[in-house]
Amino acid sequence: MKTILVTGATGQLGQCFQKQSKKFTNFNFLFCSSAELDITSKESLRALFKKHNFDYCINCAAYTNVEQAENEHEKAFLVNAEGAKNIAELCNEFGVTLFHFSTDYVFNGQSRVPYKESDEVDPINIYGASKLKGEEIIKELMQEYFIFRTSWLYSEFGHNFFRTILRKADEKAELNITTTQLGTPTNANDLADYVLCIIAAGSKKYGIYHFSNEGEATWYDFAKEILNYSNKMDEVTLNKTGFFKTLAERPEYSVLSKEKAIKNFGPIKDWKISLHQLIDEN
Residues annotated as catalytic are 127
Q: Which of 44, 56, 50 is nearest to 3 (CA)?
A: 56
Contact 131, 80 (CB under 8 A): yes
Contact 256, 104 (CB under 8 A): yes
What phi, psi does 120 have (nearest 5°)?
-65, 135
Angle at 98 between CA 130 and CA 86, to 5 degrees: 55
Contact 269, 190 (CB under 8 A): yes
What DSSP line would sit under 188-230, residue for residue? HHHHHHHHHHHHHHT----EEEE---BS-EEHHHHHHHHHHHT
Amino acid at position 126, single letter: I
